[in-house]
């Protein structure tokens, strides 16, 4: 805003100049306040974005974890049936330190090593099966030339992918128990067949309980 220079004793001019100065001050203060408001809103938006990202990362991490207590219940639907969402693809595996992936055809059944069985949808070792594994471990330590292949199996309920994952966890749980009893991990390999090799085909709990197993095969080194 343009204004003329005031000279004494032009009071009207001085009043006008004071009003113009006050108006400029108000405009400047309003601009500063507006900038502060914009800065506050931008900071708040940034904090909300960061909080959302952190929550997303936590949710993703939690949802990918397996069920606690030896269960894969993450794949269970509301009616109690298992669903493919909870499954994880399992393939032939081996213990750390094993020289190569084994060929199952090289292994044979031995009456010395007994199978163990599992509860529905679980892979933790039951007390009665722990005693079987302890006896198996003693047999393996008494025959140091043996290598063992542990097959993990599941019953027919659930998807093929889910049951492969469950069989794999059962085989690895059995392997870990043998290692805890003094069997070298390099002597052990594991494989999962899921539901593909049942020992009983009847649709009953008595039959399904036989299929939920870890089966042991051996070969000479």
pLDDT in tens, 60-117: 333 333 333 566 644 443 334 443 333 343 444 444 544 456 788 889 888 889 999 9
Side-chain half-sphere exposure of 192, counting CA atoms within 13 A? 26
Beta carbons of 170 and 123 less than 8 angstroms apart? yes
Torsion (CA) 220, 210, 182, 100 in degrees, nearest 10: 40
Which of 7, 116, 1, 2 is CA-nearest to residue 70? 116
What confidence category does residue 37 fall into, taking pLDDT thresholds of 50, 70 and 90?
Answer: confident
Tell me which of 94-103, 163-172, 190-199, 212-221 is least confident: 94-103
Question: What predicted TM-score, i.e. pTM, was given to this entire model?
Answer: 0.59
CB 97 within 8 A of CB 186: yes
pLDDT range class, residue 44, cuts 50, 70, 90: confident
Using the predicted structure, report yes or no on whether residue 28 has a pLDDT greater than 50. yes
Helix (H, G, I), strand (E, B) or coil at 180: helix
């Amino acid at each position: 805003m343009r204004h003329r220079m005031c000279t004494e004793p032009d009071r009207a001019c001085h009043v006008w100049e004071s009003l113009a100065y006050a108006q400029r001050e108000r405009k400047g203060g309003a601009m500063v306040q507006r900038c502060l408001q914009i800065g506050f809103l931008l900071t708040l938006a940034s904090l909300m974005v960061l909080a959302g990202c952190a929550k997303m990362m936590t949710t993703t991490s939690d949802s990918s974890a397996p069920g606690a207590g030896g269960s894969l219940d993450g794949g269970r639907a509301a009616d109690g049936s298992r669903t493919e969402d909870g499954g994880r693809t399992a393939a032939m595996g081996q213990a750390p330190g094993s020289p190569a992936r084994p060929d199952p055809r090289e292994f044979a059944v031995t009456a010395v090593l007994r199978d163990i069985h599992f509860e529905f949808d679980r892979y933790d070792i039951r007390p009665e099966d722990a005693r079987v594994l302890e006896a198996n471990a003693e047999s393996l330590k008494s025959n140091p030339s043996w290598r063992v292949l542990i097959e993990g199996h599941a019953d027919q309920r659930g998807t093929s992918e889910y049951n492969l994952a469950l069989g794999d966890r059962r085989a690895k749980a059995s392997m870990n128990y043998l290692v805890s009893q003094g069997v070298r991990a390099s002597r052990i390999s594991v494989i999962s067949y899921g539901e593909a090799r049942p020992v009983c085909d009847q649709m009953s709990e008595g039959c399904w309980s036989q299929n939920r197993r870890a089966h042991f095969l051996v070969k000479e080194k």
